[in-house]
Structure 1
């Protein structure tokens, strides 16, 4: 028997290499892990489909159709393998309209040229992602949506890229978002608030079950589908890598002097009316809506919207899943009162109010709220140690405010209080498209994706550069079953 003598394993000397080498090693490790994880998942899914088909063919009633079913299954698997080899690109889609905009990119309503199906296409500019330290954010959003198969989370179909941008093809939710609803109706009744908050609880619970903390629960990220039911979107901050959510960042921000004094919006002379099946309370529409529109414009910038962020993210304290329940508590407050509990004219005042929440949280005397609703809000907008939901969503579901709510039947049995009156599959009447630029010419941040032809088709740039490709290796994702079945 032959023996082999191997030299001893060399000692690891991480300090002997520079930061670039260390970063590349970590990045290669992440890419390799993601590549093999995706491959393992695809193999597992194919194996499960094969077993399901084999069990189905054991049915004696299918003896005459067994060969036909087996051939059909084989054709589907062949289609799946071709699907994996097919390269996605902008030339496969026709842009219809821009329906959303943020500091790092935009969301467009597009139609796939091959089959005519309508999707929402989110575009992120690579240079912005790199210069603003957003690479972990991009991966976090991609991973969270790729791993989720929940009916409460927006569906991701595929991701692809070119030399300047990243793209996420998602389902189009024509009902708009909750912020648009609040701008339109201002204030909800407790019954309507109960419905939406119950569905948001289901959505947050689905995200937590995946092991993610969303960290950016706000009305802008709560979308409504064709039936008016809730779906959660925008997972870019879900893992906490973003620089602007580092505790030191907020410590520096809180030390800056305030630009303006506190100016919390107040409302008077409230009365109740019925609008589109929703019992709403209406007050000074101009004042509240001016504030909401300015807050929506702030969401388009790099400043962000701090109104719904838990105080743990502003301090050096640790945090856990319950920070999402703080955010939900502030949303419930806004639905019932008309503005978030810590609203102010500038971000500094909002940060300061959130950190000093025991002294700044108040309920206006002229807003009629039930004691149960006030108790729910105070149980969620409070210290983490006492916060409702810290031991799971069931704590909130069992609160008296949700007495009688069947959380398992909200989407399938209960009719939403507002069903969007859509006239076509590309109806964008529930989106603030009038506030967004609708251009088809190129700009400085989108040299490859907005060059439209006469038919509205966008063209691919065929010369990707290593600098804009290497950091995003492993970003591609395809969801076969939901795309073709």
Structure 2
């Protein structure tokens, strides 16, 4: 482990510990006004379980060799989305593959970081779940929940016109989903039928946060421009910041 990686490792570990404490404090403050007694204990236990699961996933080191590609299900400006199967568990995921050279060239590092952060932070029924993220010299990989219902654009093309009841249902769910994103401190900035996915029960989840922002320094393109202008010791942060 070189010095840059070592410094980044301990700096990130401290930041993660601070974030966990802040999440715990914010959650306890919320419970203080909304619940008490047995319900409070259940909510705290569930919160602790979710935090433990998140930490286990964060410690898991994966590579492309851990997955089998079933088929390509989409293509974008920086890569593609594949339907993949994890070799050890057999579980199915959607793997978003982002070409890092194109991200650098088109000054999209801040947007990719924001997308990764909102997916990782959102423990919400309205947001596609992110299970793993890792990278190699060429690509950044986001392993996400696969939703078999397709997207709202495909439904519109198939049915052409929705009934009033169906329209009200999906508009109402979109409003709740956007509200959930705002409460997390993010703005999606690319809401359209293509980015509204449908789960197996017919409910929506938002996806494709490539244009989102969370008003954090690492979501600002100037942050990465400054790193690129500095010496080589700082440049190694670029790839590590995107995966963390």
**1:103 Cα offset (Å):** 1.1
TM-score with structure 2 length normalisation? Answer: 0.71
Cα 1:242–1:182 change in 2 (3 A) is farther
Unaligned runs of 5+ in 1: 1-29, 48-55, 57-76, 244-465, 478-485
Equivalent residue number for residue 476 of structure 1? 243
CA RMSD of aligned residues (A): 3.6
Equivalent residue number for residue 190 of structure 2? 216
Cα 1:45–1:186 change in 2 (3 A) is same
Match runs of 1:4-403 below 5 Å: 36-42=14-20, 84-239=58-213
Higher share of residues assigned helix: 2
Residue pair 2:57, 2:132 contacting (<8 A) in 1 also:
no
Q: After the TM superposition, which parts of structure 1 deviate over 6 Å for at least 4 consecutive aligned residues? A: 30-33, 43-47, 79-82, 240-243
Distance 1:242 1:40 in 2: 22
Distance 1:187 1:110 in 2: 33
TM-score with structure 1 length normalisation? Answer: 0.37
Residue pair 1:151, 1:231 contacting (<8 A) in 2 also:
yes
Distance 1:233 1:184 in 2: 21
- Asked which structure has the greater CA Rg, the reply is 1
Cα 1:95–1:129 change in 2 (3 A) is same
Superposed CA deviations along residues 329-386 of structure 1, whole A, max 9, x for unmatched, are xxxxxxxxxxxxxxxxxxxxxxxxxxxxxxxxxxxxxxxxxxxxxxxxxxxxxxxxxx
Residue pair 1:31, 1:473 contacting (<8 A) in 2 also:
no
Local SS of the residue matching 2:82: strand
Number of residue pairs matched? 202
Unaligned runs of 5+ in 2: 1-7, 26-37, 39-51, 222-232
Distance 2:55 2:172 in 1: 40
